[in-house]
């Protein structure tokens, strides 16, 4: 019974947050338009958090995802400005993310550097590259083709559901597609089960014949690719790219995964639980913004949420 209550704590917290903002903002918060807006706002964070779950399954983490998202957006925008077609800019950005993830994987799994140290170093490298490639400026205007920025403005019309003039945003659809792929990979394949085995006991996994180094490297590659995809989503949404636009994604993504871990029976990362963590952070931010709470107070609350989530997760694992 106690275990069930502990696992239900995070969903209950989400419900209470929804209830609080609904009472405080009865005319604007719990409306279809605002909920669709929230889903679009959190889509980039969701993609990064889902991808981060893959490495955190193995008790690793990646501090470089924010700077990788920024770098990928900059690479795509720079190629657009140089006259390359949209597909080429997108492909280059994803390739950069994949390469960055593989680099993290090599540093951690093959060379043996601690994930904190390795990804802290690559965070700085990717951030520096973003400033170097962009010359420290924001790329926008005519340099961003309309067909690229238009990707984020499309969606599925909801008129048939009685929601005239509203549509399910394409960014939300993309985030759910990533969620489905990662859920299937982690929960329904041998690959996912091996990742969980590594997270449970890396030495036992090695003795069982699991290729620990290769799997850790591949997990970091997935996370890098996810960060790059989120960077493209963000650049498309705001029709611009700058070297710092992904800076806040890393902390929020880790917070979302830890919040989700409080729901697991063994305190393990699960991608559907990560979704609950993303929703908590996104709804908090949206509600506090509507209440005109200062941005620095919102950041303090998110930081407190991270501490609480880590503390609860650590307590769960010890008990």
pLDDT in tens, 124-176: 999 999 999 999 899 988 889 989 999 998 999 998 888 888 999 999 999 99
pLDDT at residue 293 in the model: 85
pLDDT at residue 262 in the model: 79
pLDDT at residue 79 is higher than 90: yes
DSSP string, 46-95: HHHHHHHHHHHTTT---TTHHHHHHHHHHHHHHHHHTT--HHHHHHHHHH
Report the candidate in 67, 82, 81 with the shortest Cα–Cα distance to residue 140: 81
pLDDT at residue 69 is higher than 80: yes
Compare 13 and 9 and report the one with higher pLDDT.
Answer: 13
50 within 8 A of 60, measured Cβ to Cβ: no
- Torsion angle, alpha carbons of 14, 19, 20, 21, to 10: 90
The enclosing H or E element of 221 equals: helix 212-238
Its sign, for the CA torsion 167, 171, 174, 176, is negative
Tokens standing for 42? 């959190």
Tokens standing for 182? 């990662």
Report the candidate in 159, 186, 213 with the shortest Cα–Cα distance to residue 51: 186
CA pair distance 181, 188, nearest whole angstrom: 10
Q: Which residues contact 29 (CB under 8 A, 6 or more apart)?
A: 21, 22, 286, 287, 290
Under the banding of pLDDT at 50, 70 and 90, the label for residue 5 is very low
Residue 214: how many other CB atoms lie within 10 Å: 13
DSSP annotation of 107: I
Compare 14 and 218 and report the one with higher pLDDT.
Answer: 218
Query: For the residues 263-272, what does the mean pLDDT come to?
Result: 79
140 within 8 A of 243, measured Cβ to Cβ: no
């Amino acid at each position: 019974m106690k275990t069930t209550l502990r696992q239900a704590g995070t969903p209950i917290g989400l419900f209470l947050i929804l209830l609080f903002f609904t009472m405080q903002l009865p005319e604007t918060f719990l409306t279809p338009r605002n909920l669709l807006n929230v889903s679009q706002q959190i889509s980039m964070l969701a993609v990064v958090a889902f991808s981060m779950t893959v490495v955190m399954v193995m008790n690793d983490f990646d501090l470089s995802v924010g700077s990788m998202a920024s770098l990928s957006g900059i690479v795509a925008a720079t190629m657009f400005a140089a006259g390359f077609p949209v597909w080429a800019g997108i492909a280059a950005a994803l390739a950069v993310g994949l390469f960055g993830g593989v680099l993290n994987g090599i540093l951690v799994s093959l060379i043996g550097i601690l994930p904190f140290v390795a990804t802290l170093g690559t965070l700085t490298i990717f951030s520096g590259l973003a400033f170097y490639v962009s010359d420290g400026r924001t790329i926008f205007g005519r340099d961003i083709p309309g067909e690229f920025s238009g990707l984020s403005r499309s969606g599925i019309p909801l008129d048939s559901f009685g929601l005239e003039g509203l549509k399910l945003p394409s960014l939300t659809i993309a985030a759910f597609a990533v969620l489905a792929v990662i859920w299937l990979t982690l929960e329904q394949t041998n690959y996912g089960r091996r990742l969980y085995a590594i997270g449970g006991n890396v030495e036992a996994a090695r003795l069982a014949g699991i290729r620990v180094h290769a799997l850790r490297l591949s997990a970091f590659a997935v996370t890098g690719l996810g960060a790059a995809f989120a960077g493209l989503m963000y650049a498309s949404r705001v029709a611009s790219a700058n070297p710092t636009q992904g800076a806040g994604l890393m902390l929020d993504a880790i917070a979302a995964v830890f919040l989700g871990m409080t729901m697991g029976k063994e305190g393990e990362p699960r991608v559907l639980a990560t979704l609950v963590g993303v929703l908590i952070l996104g709804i908090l931010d949206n509600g506090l913004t509507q209440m005109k709470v200062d941005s620095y107070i919102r950041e303090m609350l998110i930081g407190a949420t991270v501490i609480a989530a880590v503390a609860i997760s650590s307590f769960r694992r010890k008990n």
